[in-house]
């Protein structure tokens, strides 16, 4: 079965291709309102016809609800285009996945500290209990000490690095948009679980997955463009 990321990229690419085909045939005016209305109908039709797998149902339903509440202000064409560009950029070849390495995590921690974030990696958060950590500054990042080792078990590479083999949590307080931007630039696709309620009080939780292959839409940095991101 194809991964969520591959299915999502296929979905938005098909939607855009079919929309642009109608532009070329003169069936559809290339305006924001016309494009949004086309995609809203396309989403609803896809759901009714069960055109895509169950992995895509949640996203399709979310877009359908957005259309019902926001109408033409949903800007689905822009959203689909951004999702397509984002996933094409980070997954140029699904047959050759790029692993997340322990060295990348270490470099990211150093980088976040260098730009003024308070970073904590010394506590074991693997249990069910919620913890209250007192972190300094306006923004803080907490990683579980147990996960920093356990999530790389059996991921040893020939060059001495270790690849991520299990989902890993990042707990974030403060400037979430900056965290998403910096994490993405570091090569991590982050997947939001909560805004501020998590095992760590006042911190939201994000997950990264082996090979960046999560089971939900990743957080896309505000104003994403491929030139700014490696």
Q: What is the DSSP string of 82-99?
A: HHHHHHHHH-S-TTSPPP
Contact 36, 72 (CB under 8 A): yes
Q: Which two tokens stand for residue 63?
A: 């877009």
User: What SS3 state is found at 202?
Assistant: coil
Q: What are phi and psi of 84, to 5 degrees?
A: -60, -50
The structural domains of the chain, with segments of one domain joined by +, span 4-90, 102-228
Q: Report pLDDT for 46.
A: 98
User: What pLDDT does 1 receive?
Assistant: 83
Prediction pTM value: 0.92
pLDDT given at position 97: 87
* The pLDDT of residue 137: 82
Smallest CA-to-CA distance from 211 within 108, 105, 100, 101 is with 100
Give the model confidence (pLDDT) of 78-124 as tens digits: 999 999 999 999 999 998 889 999 999 999 999 999 999 999 999 89
The CA dihedral of 8, 9, 14, 17, to the nearest 10 degrees, is 150
| Residue 174 CB neighbours (<10 A) | 19
The angle that helices 57-70 and 32-48 make with each other, rounded to 10 degrees, is 140
Task: Return the pLDDT at 42.
Answer: 97
* Intervals of the chain under pLDDT 50: none
């Amino acid at each position: 079965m194809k991964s969520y990321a591959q299915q999502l990229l296929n979905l938005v690419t098909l939607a855009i291709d079919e929309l642009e085909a109608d532009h070329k045939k003169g069936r559809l005016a290339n305006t924001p309102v016309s494009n949004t209305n086309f995609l809203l109908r396309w989403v609803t039709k896809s759901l009714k016809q069960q055109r895509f797998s169950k992995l895509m149902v949640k996203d399709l339903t979310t877009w359908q609800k957005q259309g019902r509440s926001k109408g033409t202000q949903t800007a689905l064409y822009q959203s689909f285009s951004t999702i397509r560009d984002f996933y094409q950029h980070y997954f140029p070849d699904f047959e050759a996945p790029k692993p997340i390495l322990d060295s990348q995590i270490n470099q990211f921690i150093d980088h976040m500290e260098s730009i003024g974030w308070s970073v904590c990696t010394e506590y074991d958060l693997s249990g069910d209990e919620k913890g209250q950590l007192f972190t300094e500054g306006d923004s803080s990042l907490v990683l579980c000490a147990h996960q920093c080792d356990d999530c790389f078990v059996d991921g040893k590479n020939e060059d001495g690095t270790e690849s991520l083999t299990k989902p890993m949590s990042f707990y974030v307080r403060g400037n979430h948009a900056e965290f998403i931007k910096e994490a993405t630039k570091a090569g991590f696709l982050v997947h939001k679980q909560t805004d501020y309620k998590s095992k760590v009080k006042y911190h939201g939780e994000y997950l990264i997955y082996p090979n960046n292959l999560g089971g939900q839409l990743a957080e896309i940095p505000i104003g994403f463009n491929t030139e700014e991101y490696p």
